[in-house]
Structure 1
Amino acid sequence: MDLILLQPGDDSIFGGSNSWQDGGSLIDAEWKDDILKQVGDRPCFELVSIHQGMKQQVTTDVSNSARTSGRPVITEFTCVKYVDKTSVGLYDYCLRAKPLDSSGTKAAATKLFIMRNSGDQTLNIMTFYLRYALISEIQFQSHPDDMPTEQFKLNFTEILWEYSVQAADTTSPGMRAAGWSVSRNRPIGDFTS
């Protein structure tokens, strides 16, 4: 089973800890195995699904030896989560066009963790770091046989990808990383200043 976590750079979107007065969320902040402890003490959204893509604009013009016709297109992340008390914060951030992170550093960036259960261990497969992530769209949807969900899109100015190499004994001997600045249209190794 996959576990997809979204960790905003700004914790205020969560509206405080769970309580009977303020409502609750589906986020279990108490239980964490060793990998989840590496995520840190900051809260995360648990996502149902996530989608993102990229493409290069290619031309069939034989006079263009590069075959490309413009800058690459990196799509926004489309995320789906169950409705809970954090939904109100997402609506507010979307309408105010307030970024989920504001410092521009990798440590305080908005992060997406793609994890997988292997036996009794949770393994981090991929981490996405988003600079100045912004909720560009959000849609509420009810379901006849399940809890209501919301689908939202995350726009960003820069992205870093980290893939964790996994050994047979579930350890991670290394990682592979890359990055791209959408605003500058060039590869990056870390967030630009």
Structure 2
Amino acid sequence: MLSRTAIVERSTNETEIFLSLDLDGSGKAVVQTGIPFFDHMLCLFARHGLMDLEVNARGDREVDFHHTVEDVGICLGRALEKALGDKKGIRRYGFALMPMDEALAQVAIDLSGRPFFALRTPNLPPLSLLYAGTFPAQLLEEFFRAFSMHGMLTLHLEIRAARDTHHLLEASFKGVARALAASVEKDERVSEVPSTKGVL
């Protein structure tokens, strides 16, 4: 099987990022963003997505965490798109219902080539009011929007229940990782691109 790996580097006045991705890894992660909670989320994303991930990011954290988190999402999306190549033989769709104690996240992914992101949080307080330590829960939306737009995929995420912000975020990252692992998986019955259009 051809290697499904990618390296992406991004340098701006706000961030400096190196990211390496192997879609057919074993869940190994080496992550340093300077934001410990975000590092934790990226490590569990790699573990539950069964991909190898290396991230080295420096950003203007003295301003806030926004630029670093969003730009890592951009790089991860670009790496995914690059590693997938022509998308021949993949399952394309992935789904997950992910519990984390009292929290529950529902995820659906389509590697459609059409970037779209929808986040729903019925019956929860606005994410802008929630924090896991010093990490703003609102950055969940910024990260996965950047990932979806630059990964050229459709992602629906609904957080259906949660009382603890840490659990809310962890269920979301794990759920997206599991759905992504299913969507990039090779199906031996499929040799072409899984679309009647012939291209994704």
| Larger strand fraction of residues | 1
The structure, 1 or 2, with the larger RCO (C-alpha pairs under 8 Å, 6+ apart) is: 2
Pair member with larger Rg: 1
Which has the larger helix fraction? 2
Q: Could you state the TM-score of these two structures normalised by the residue count of structure 2?
A: 0.29
Per the normalisation by structure 1, the TM-score is 0.30
